[in-house]
Amino acid sequence: MKGIRMDKPLNGQIAVIVGASSGMGRATAVSYAEAGASVVVAARSGEKLEALAAEIGDQAVVCQTDVRDVAQVEKLIQTTKERFGRIDILVYATGTNIPDRSLDNLTHDTWQMMIGTNLTGAFNCTKAVLPIMKEQQAGLIIYLSSGCVQSPDVSGVSYQASKHGLTGLAHGTFKEEQENGIRTTIIFPGLCDTPLVLKRPVPTPPEVVAKALQPQDVADTCLFVASLPSRTRIPELVLLPSGL
């Protein structure tokens, strides 16, 4: 990564941001574009992606994608390859939760939905992007997990299980692919003021939300990780609100 412009640390890089329609993923897409990257933004909501692309400008490409659908994920990666010839960074920011998250209320269907979105979708994206990164002998995959991995809470067993699973995916991928120049980082954000907070069964008090992380805090962290030279790797990074 010689010749990096400090004002544009990702200049010329190609990044795929999965889960870019809102929250941390959206903020990361904007930050990466401002840092000089071309960004392919993916999520289920095409309307929100189009609005994001209009904000970013010519550096953004929209690819509406349901991460649980292998064919759609493969199309996302292939579209990026055809457009830009390579993929330097993949950020998996997709994540969801449900109000009926307790074991008493959790059903087999909602369990499958949670694991499918939060974990299997990350596997689908990883599986699809690896051949391109291996061919390049370079690539960075960033997974956004949750602070509940370090400090178990009442976010629900399906949410916590899926976020724990991302750790195995991230570290296992690196162990298998490090000789191919592929690096992984998993970030564990604490409470963040995103739309996901609205899905809690009991509303979070406003005074607590006021002390939470902002999506831009996570985006800045993703930018920091991606801006480091390829000789470095941050296996894990915990990002917590200082006031909670």
Q: Which residues are known to be catalytic?
A: 159
H or E stretch including 177?
Answer: helix 157-177
Pairing between β-strand 89-92 and β-strand 139-144 as defined by DSSP bridges:
parallel
Q: Using CA atoms, how far apart are residues 12 and 75, in angstroms rounded to an integer?
A: 22
Q: Which residues 6+ apart lie within 8 Å of 204 measured at CB?
A: 191, 197
Question: To 10 degrees, the CA torsion angle through 176, 177, 178, 184?
Answer: -100
Rg of the chain in Å (alpha carbons)? 17
What are the phi and psi torsion angles at 16 (to 5°)? Answer: -105, 120
Q: How far is CA 71 from the centre of its chain?
A: 19
Return the SS3 of 42.
strand
| DSSP-assigned beta bridge partners for residue 90 | 16, 141
What number of other Cβ atoms are within 10 A of residue 230's Cβ?
12
149 near 160, Cβ under 8 Å?
A: yes
Q: Using CA atoms, how far apart are residues 70 and 73, in angstroms rounded to an integer?
A: 5
